[in-house]
Structure 1
């Protein structure tokens, strides 16, 4: 399976508590799973309004850290978030007005992947922090399978 791209089905459930309001987003999309060296990559698109989409790339490093990149070219919005279980990491949110430097604090993370048949789960509970203030609490639940 080394360096091979495998077609998978991706189900993502995201809960966000921000400014006193809870929102939920559910995504079911086809995606691609790739192993390169000791890293794992999961790539898929998030369908948006007006036949548009955002590209999402999830990377799981050899030591279990998770990198999450989301880019929506039509809206000029992108983010690069890093997660280390029970630790704080730098994050960048790119807008049409410039780059906002933020932090994530990963309260809990879990990665489980089995090969026969290929199936996986990635859970991340985190806070998004700007200027030492928590701007949102997030629950990221992703399941993929062939």
Structure 2
């Protein structure tokens, strides 16, 4: 089993439309690119207020499914969302009050990874769904390079 790890720079832009309000989040951090077998992992942190951090792990499977896990220990929040091009998936948000089931509908997804030099992008356009209601529309744009 092949296991390659590289230092990378990650730039993540997230555009969120919730209740008619558009917000932008930009994360620019160092991270790690790890390939294990046919799956690729990107690991990096998101800087939060009060010098806290949330850890983010993005996995791309050989079939092109994308998993995004975000853990913020300081706020007792953890989410795991799954994305498959033009399909519904189930995920969840863990809070101090319990686990909320969340669903995603991936309207569009693209993954491009180039080996020499190592770089790539992961784009996901999706709806976040709770209790059969769309609670937000998201554009996830991740760019990385070694």
User: Could you list the runs of 5+ residues in structure 2 that have no partner in the other structure?
Assistant: none
TM-score (norm 1): 0.98
Q: Distance in 1 between matches of 2:108 and 2:120?
A: 17
Match of 1:72 in 2: 72
Q: Distance in 2 between matches of 1:102 and 1:57?
A: 18
Aligned-residue RMSD, C-alpha: 0.5
* Cα distance per residue 1:31-67 (max 9 Å; x no partner): 0000000000000000011110000000000100000
Flag as ranges the 4+ runs of structure 1 deviating above 4 A. none
Aligned to 2:74, the other structure's residue is in SS state: helix
Give aligned pairs, total. Answer: 145
Match of 1:20 in 2: 20
Q: Distance in 2 between matches of 1:11 and 1:102?
A: 25
Deviation at 1:4, TM superposition (A): 2.2
TM-score (norm 2): 0.98
Match of 1:92 in 2: 92
Q: Distance in 1 between matches of 2:128 and 2:91?
A: 9
Match of 2:35 in 1: 35
User: Could you list the runs of 5+ residues in structure 1 that have no partner in the other structure?
Assistant: none
Match of 1:144 in 2: 144
Match of 2:60 in 1: 60
Q: Distance in 2 between matches of 1:131 and 1:139?
A: 21
